[in-house]
A and B are shown apart, each in its own frame.
Chain A
Amino acid sequence: MDKIWLVIQREYLSRVKKKSFLLATLLTPLIFPAIMGIFVWIALEEKGNQSLRIIEVVDESKLFFLESSEQYAFSFSDRDPEEAKDLVKKGDRYGYLLIPAINLKDPQGIVYYGNENPNMSLISYLESNLKKKIEEQRLFEAGIDPKIITDVRTSVDIKSITLDQKGGEKVSDATVNYAIGFLAGILIYMFIFIYGTQIMQGVIEEKSSRIVEILVSSLRPFQLMLGKIIGIAGVGLTQLLIWIVLIGTLTTLVTGYLGMQMPQEQAMELANMEVGAELPSTEMGEILQVIQGIDFVSIVSTFVFYFLGGYLLYGALFAGIGSAVDAPSDAQQFMLPVTVPLIVAYMGLFVFVLQDPNSTTSFWLSVVPLTSPIAMMGRISYGVPFWELALSMSLLILGFLGTTWFAGRIYRIGILMHGTKPSYKTIWKWLKSSH
């Protein structure tokens, strides 16, 4: 036990002390906001720099009027098509839109000419505008005032309340639950891959540099493997903890700063813009209510459980693979059995679990140990019956005990084998051999 502890310490400290760890830990939470910031900045910059693009419109039926926007101006004329095309070619016009006299019931033959490939936003802008105009025109022809339609348009918002067994009522919201499941699932998926790979590389380093020969003369291979897996888990948890603290403080600081900077009105306006003008205070309150309704303690504790459980389960397999090969490039052929269930879980999270958390497929995905760490996170915020959670958790514990035993048997032989490229067959032999 003492020796495992020594290995854990070394594996942990040698990674946490690295400058690259500090850098990655501090920078990763900033990467996404930074990328978003850069995109927004570029978009704003582009908008500011762009000269107004003029589009020649030849409307043969004279039915349409397109409003100019900040980016595009529309010039209506009766020019000959060839003449209009020439204007585009010469660069006097950005594009040329030809609307022939069309049958409103089946509008065909509208063409856009341009020098460059038109961007999606322009085309969809034109399409939606024309569509609106055609619809209005047809309503008008049918004798209906388009205003009535605008009047009739209603927005429906269902407030959903979950009844729990004790008879309590809880406001829930599919979007919030979706977001929680989505984030937690992805986080576990990434963690397993990133740190699993670190385990594998660590094992390969010890094996190829022959340190392992000295190590296993001092402790049992199984202790060495376990120490490495646990030590690296500690690194991951540390990173997660730093991120939580960092993001928490940053958010508080930023919101606090914005709150100070903005005059009251403007802040209100901003809030309204985000939430939608009609229901400013009530909707905000509802979201708060939903968030309050979520049992964060149970979500966080199950998250930590599946986070660790999934990592341990796959970590052992990564260690087993690392022990079987001499170099990371040889590891590819054995990665398949590890990556396939992970990807199945990941895809299953989006295709099944988040769509319908209570379907049969979702149930099985969240119970089978290889997929449960990711799939269960998609269900957890919707509430999972106790027995299902208990089943899934105990199977996960059994699962990681199983993979650890399995990997341990490969590991104890693999780490001492040099220069042979093992196949699945030889690994199967190692698995069965007594020593």
Chain B
Amino acid sequence: MMLETRKLNKTYGQNIALTDLDLKVPNGIIFGLLGPNGAGKSTFIRIINQIIDADSGQVLIDGMELSPKHISQIGYLPEERGLYKKMKVWDQMLYFARLKGLSKSEAKERIHRWLSKMEMLTWRDKKIEDLSKGMAQKVQFISTILHNPPLLILDEPFSGFDPVNAGIIKDEILELKKQGTTVILSTHRMESVELLCDQVALINQSRKILDGTIRAVKNSFRPEVYSVSLEHLKKDIPAEWSAKVVDGVWSFTLPLSGKSPNQLLGELMTYGEIVRFEELVPSMEEIFIHQVKSMQHG
């Protein structure tokens, strides 16, 4: 399912939550929605879920205006998880699945299938308040995807999971993607972004600052600086490179300064033997922090 927003605006009284937000989420990818707290991510997600309306702008799903019939095609895992404490696992899942429009028999069959897949069948008659936090999170996750939504919106899906269960959830997300589900992943955890996401968008102070594939985003932030290590020097290294020596290996960083990497490499070869020649690519986390900070100061 393809999602597109055009010039989405939303204000709450004096607070501007979204400003002219244009986003394009292609079909069948995992799309990372990044941004600090209060950037407008939750507002965006709530608009897609038709919990609130935008002040202006368009939301298109597969080219069609967002409407109530899309509710059953979207799965939503909010950041603040919520289940009825006194309800049993089975009843809870049945309720959520039926609210999303599944028939009773269909819902029951799918719940059974998911519970056995996750080895949770013995938990079906337990009340939520008797479950561990991780277990409750799993129940919540399954409840979100029971109706096989072609568009899945996950807000911080890994919070509250131990590494083993986080791994299970990650595999499930990748499996869903393989089946053609479009996933919007809102998170602060950059390592999961680099691992899972095909594309990202960074939102800050109600505006989109950048978007694109991870590779493209990273490329656009390449400082064009290389990290170099040499040994067996043939001639002296210029002092302004401020190289450090450890065990006869000279290490320093060097900007391209208009040359191509190959030209730079050729030049370096005249100084000695190349041990390492690597471009300094920023991590998503560095880009994220850099961008957010530069906006605060700018």
B53 touches A435 (CB 8 A): yes
How many angstroms between the C-alpha atoms of A274 and B180 in the bound complex?
A: 82
How many angstroms between the C-alpha atoms of A429 and B51 in the bound complex?
A: 19
Contacts A211-B82, A214-B82, A217-B50 known; 7 new A-B pairs at CB < 8 A: A3-B99, A14-B87, A209-B82, A210-B78, A213-B82, A217-B78, A218-B99
A8 CB to closest chain B CB, in angstroms?
12
Indicate whether B236 reaches chain A with its CB closer than 8 angstroms: no
How many angstroms between the C-alpha atoms of A3 and B81 in the bound complex?
A: 21
The B95-114 residues at the A interface (CB cut-off 8 A) are 95-96, 98-100
Partner of A213, one of B78, B86, B96: B78
How many angstroms between the C-alpha atoms of A435 and B51 in the bound complex?
A: 10
Which chain A residues border B83 with CB–CB below 8 Å?
Answer: 209, 211
Q: How many residues of A contact B (CB 8 A)?
A: 21
A14 touches B80 (CB 8 A): no
Partner of B51, one of A205, A209, A217, A434: A217
Indicate whether A270 reaches chain B with its CB closer than 8 angstroms: no
B51 touches A213 (CB 8 A): yes
B95 touches A6 (CB 8 A): yes
A14 touches B86 (CB 8 A): yes
B52 touches A217 (CB 8 A): no
How many angstroms between the C-alpha atoms of A209 and B81 in the bound complex?
A: 8
B98 touches A210 (CB 8 A): no
B 260-296 to A, binary, CB cutoff 8 A, 1 in contact else 0: 0000000000000000000000000000000000000
The B10-48 residues at the A interface (CB cut-off 8 A) are 13, 46
Main SS class of interface, B: loop
B222 CB to closest chain A CB, in angstroms?
39
How many angstroms between the C-alpha atoms of A212 and B85 in the bound complex?
A: 13
Query: Given A6-B99, A215-B99, A429-B13 in contact, is the A210-B71 Cβ separation under 8 Å?
Result: no
Would you give 28 A-B contacts (Cβ < 8 Å), ordered by A? A3-B99, A14-B84, A14-B86, A14-B87, A205-B84, A206-B82, A209-B82, A210-B80, A210-B82, A211-B82, A211-B84, A213-B76, A213-B80, A214-B76, A214-B143, A216-B49, A217-B71, A217-B74, A218-B71, A218-B96, A218-B99, A218-B100, A219-B99, A416-B46, A416-B52, A429-B13, A434-B53, A435-B53
Which chain A residues border B81 with CB–CB below 8 Å?
Answer: 210
- Residues of chain A having any CB pair with chain B under 8 Å: 3, 6, 10, 14, 205-206, 209-219, 416, 429, 434-435
A141 CB to closest chain B CB, in angstroms?
79
How many angstroms between the C-alpha atoms of A397 and B112 in the bound complex?
A: 45
B224 CB to closest chain A CB, in angstroms?
44
Query: Which 4 A-B pairs give the minimum distances between C-beta atoms?
Result: A210-B82, A211-B82, A218-B99, A210-B80
How many angstroms between the C-alpha atoms of A288 and B148 in the bound complex?
A: 66
Which chain B residues border A434 with CB–CB below 8 Å?
Answer: 53
Nearest CB to that of B54 among chain A residues?
A435
B 46-88 to A, binary, CB cutoff 8 A, 1 in contact else 0: 1001111100000000000000000100101010111111110
